[in-house]
Structure formats: C-alpha cells, structure tokens
Structure 1
Amino acid sequence: MMLEVLTNAPLNTVQDLGRPRAIPFGVSCGGAMDRNAFALGNILVGNAPDAAGLEIAFFPFRVRFRQDCVFAITGAPAKVRLDAVPLPSCWSMKARPGQTLVMDAPEKGMRSYLAVAGGLDVPRVLGGRATDIKGEFGGFEGRGLQKGDLLPCGGGKTGPMPANGVGLSGLAPLPDKNGMELHILPAAEYGEFTEQAQACLVQQHWRITTHANRVGFRLEGETTLQTRRPLNLLSHGLLPGTVQVPPSGQPIIQMADANTCGGYPKIGIVVEPDLSFLSQIPPGGYVTFRLIDQDQALARLRAHRQHLRQLAEQVSATKTYILTQ
C-alpha cells in the first residue's frame, strides 16, 4: 500500500514517538512535536502507539491514496478535503484508490498529523522511524517530503466504519496566540537565579519569537532572567522541555529535536503534556509559566496517559471506529 505525495513539502516529515534511548549517544529524541495529536491519530486508525505517521507543517499539502486505506487527521484544524468532501479535524475515513487528500492552512495551530492504518512502513534507525533532519537519517530518506515520493504503508486491518467516517469529540481546544499556561518543574540551576528572576519567570508574559522550530522556542519578555553570580557550567545533558537561559536572559524551551547537551543554566522543565500544546502556538503568541512540584507533575502526566489508554481500550473493545470522549 502506498501514499503518493503530490506537493513539495520540506517541513513535512515522517515522525513517530522518537528515539529516547538514543539520547545518551548524542542523538536527539525527535518524534512528533504534538505527541498528543499524534497519539490520537494512531488511536483513531487502531495503530500501535509508536506507528509512524506524517507531521504536516507546510501547507497546502496533497497526497493520493494508491490503495484502500483508513486514515485519520488530527492536530491543528486544517481545512481538509477528500476529493470534494470536506472533513473535520480529529476525523477518520476510508479512502479509495485514486482519491486525493488536500490539506489547506489550519485555522488555528501550526501542525497537523496524518495517520494511516498500519503506519508508514519506513525502516527503523537507532530504534525509531522519525525523521532527523539535522542528521539526515530516519523517516523517508532522511529528509522532508517531495512531490512524487511514494510512502509505503503497513496495510493494517481495520474494523467497520460508517460511510461518512467518525471522529473524536469534546477534546481540549488548541491554545491561540493570546497565550497558555505552561506547568514547569524547577530545574537544576533554579536556585542560582535571583529572587527577582524567579518571580518574573511566573509573573510576566513571554512572547514566542520567530526563532521557533523543532529544536527550540526562543522567548522574549520585558524583564530578563539573571543569575545571582556568573555561572561557568560544563555542557550537560538536555531533554525536550528544558528551559535554558542564555546570557541574554531570555529563555529557550528545548523542543522535540532538542540539543542533547548544552551549558546554559536551566531554570525549569516543562511537563510533557504541555509541550504538545506549546508546539501549536505560532510565533508572536504568548505563554506564562506556573511552577509545580514533582507530585503535581506526575499527576498531570498520569492523568494524560490514562485518558489516552481509555480511548485506545474503547477502540479495542468495540472493534469499531465510533468514538466520543
């Protein structure tokens, strides 16, 4: 089973849940920026959580189905059409051979996802199928998609589906440019920052600058964050969600393709569920920070994962694609 790419799309890539076990070797974790939307897509088509799909950040995007295929669209609510039929976001449909899926720019958010039953059948490299653009490996030939690419699919079996398709309802809305609250844990050097910096971190609004990509989001605030004394740190390990503060005093949030090491002091760690929503805020949007403790962070993470498990169990139990939240 094949998907034929009909548009050049260098920012659109094959992604999965990344390569967390490769981080000690200096390889970025990578994977989908909006892991929540990515997970919902795999749930809608009955895939395993780590099945590979498409992350779409450059629009318009068009693909043609070469064989029968059940697919799902999640993430930023793009204007989607299967031939002439408009489809909502978080929706699953069955496509016939020769049908074309067209995705225009989203009304809100930055990234949409296309999941297909059985996943995209690209080779595993260092334990994952995600595209590492910096390293030029993984995904489909280690690069963004180009017109004429033929993406092999796993051809997974699917259950019954209504002719008009089905989807998820009642999901949490995506944040807009007016801002969202990010929950963070204090990081290793939090205590090295002045009391004024610690207060400003959570009291002021931070604007996402145009320097925002899969590696990191640079923020800008009226008051900079300063340490109590000059710090000369050796490079140390980093993970997605790490909030670093360079000499400028303006924070950087490491994202999916985060650097694996760096020497800037760390003031906080954004909890995993919030990173998904952050990835959908465009440059010019605003965020605030709320400091929480480890127990609160674990509670948020467990609740998020339990919600996804419940949706997956519902699909498995009913053997259908009729889903509601």
Structure 2
Amino acid sequence: MADLQHITLTTKPSAQIAYTFHPATSSTATTTPPPLLVFLNGLGLPQASWFATIAKLKESNTPLPALLTYDRYGQGATTDRDPADADAEDPTHGHDALTVVKDLRQLLTQIATEKLGLDSAEKLNTIPLILVGNSIGCALARLYAQTYPGTVAALLLLDSVLANSDFVSIFPDPDAPGFDASTLPEGITADALRGGREGMKRIFHPSVGSKEGLSRRNLAALLPHADSPVLVGPDDGKGPFVTVVGHDFEAFAKESARMGRGEELTLVYANPYWHLYNEGLVKIAGDEAGRGKGPVQAPGAGHFVQKDNPDFVVQEILEILGKAL
C-alpha cells in the first residue's frame, strides 16, 4: 500500500490534503497521455475504505493505471478544514458539492504535473480519467464530468446517494390528507411509517449537515434528475462508460435495521425507490450501445460496497478499465 502523503492546493495554501498515489504498472506507465483512476469517498467512510480494493487490484496482476485516493478537507486523515469555511455561519454547511469538484480539479491538476510528468496544467484535459465513487462520491463524479465535459472516460458508481431526494419522501406520509391505512402492505403500520420518516429526517435529510462541512442543501438543484444530463466523454463526443452498482437488497435491509430503521420498510419502500433511481443513472452514459451497464447488485453489500465486497468492486473496476482504456 502506498504511503500517505500530503499536498497543499495552490488555491487554498493554508491547508493540506492527505492522499495516496500509486504509480501505473509497467505496461500502462508509458501510455500517452497517462490514464488516472480516482476514488471518491462518500460522507460515511474516508479514503482508507478503498485500501482493500486497491490491494486486491494489485494482486490481480492486471496492468493498472495510476491510482489516487484522498480525503476531502475535514475528513479522515485530512485534519485541516476547508479554509473557505472559516466564516461560515453553520460549519456543517460550509461548502457545497461544486466547491468539492473545484478542489478536485485543482488536486488533479497538481497531481498531473507532480506525479504524471505532464509539463502543463492544461494537459490535464488529455488524461483519460476513471472515477470510482461511493454514496455522495457518485454525485461528485457526475458533477465533475458535467463541469469538465470530455475529460472523464468512465464512471463506476457504487450505491449512489439519492441526489434529488429528501429521503423522507421515500416512505408514504401517514398524516397526509386521504391516507388510507387499510391499503398498507402486510407488516407495515402507520406508526412504522412515521418512525421511518422521522428517522430519515433526523439523519439523511439534506438539511442535516456533515462533520466535514459538505452541505447537501442544494444537491437536488445541482442534480435534479437521475437520468440526465447525458455526460460527454473524451471519445468523439460519446458518453463515458458508466457502470451503476446498487446495494444487495437483503443486506441493506439488515444494515438499515441495525441503524434503527425497520427492515420491512426498507424492503417494501427504500429498495425499489433506490433501484428506480439507479435505473435512471445508467442513462447518463447516453444511447450508444455498450456505454452503460446496470444497475447490478453487489452481492452481500450494504451501502458501503467497497467495505462489504471489495472483490466485487475489483471485478467491476477491471471490466470498466478494459472498456475505457
């Protein structure tokens, strides 16, 4: 495993970011321009959650591009906060996803010159980027590809955050006018729905901030649709290769139960809602045959797919690398 390193972005010189960089293996190291695979964390797990996947990738004896993991400001091994949040009224809502995307762009610009040997920042646009994200990391991957069209060759989206949802509305409102409790599926009660909605509001509603200061308040405005806009990759205007992975329904239901949410509520409402969202996500690859794959379920994995089933993630990474490079 690569040693943890630190870098200071020239755009935010008062803070450091912790990262790991793994050089390309021999057969891809001489590719011009050199490809780069970047892992994008969710809110729940830092870059260390990718280390098992990376170790298994290296054990595969398959030619690999350079690999990059990092912790955003205020997350994991990056103990420095985002300097721009210093005057924020609410530190848990100090900055949004677009700010993170701009920071990522700057990080990649510096990595490209310092680690990949490019002689100018402008050449970053020529690097075939492969973005692997989990949870809100999937939203960041989409926003990066939208903001910098033609730069992302492939995206592997592991149980994406429901970017356009308030999470509460996943469950019917038992206090809404006209609600009829007699129509509820067996095992579901009005009180259970109230509890589920309250639990979602308390933990997952976009109004809830994060320890790192990344706010989701405007995420639905930034990504209002699962299936659009269609992204533009570097291959003659075609979309990037996109693989959408969802959680295992049973595993996620058990994971939800451990967090105090009813297992039955997850099976009846959350899983179908999430699967429908994932079906939309596949379409951001465009209509070109073979560009989009999924949604596929990660066997035995809850929301944190890379933690629960790194072997499966390795399999999907190697497949999408074979398509994109």
Fold shared, TM-score > 0.5 on shorter chain: no
More helix by share: 2
More strand by share: 1
Structure with greater contact order relative to length (CA < 8 Å, sep ≥ 6): 1
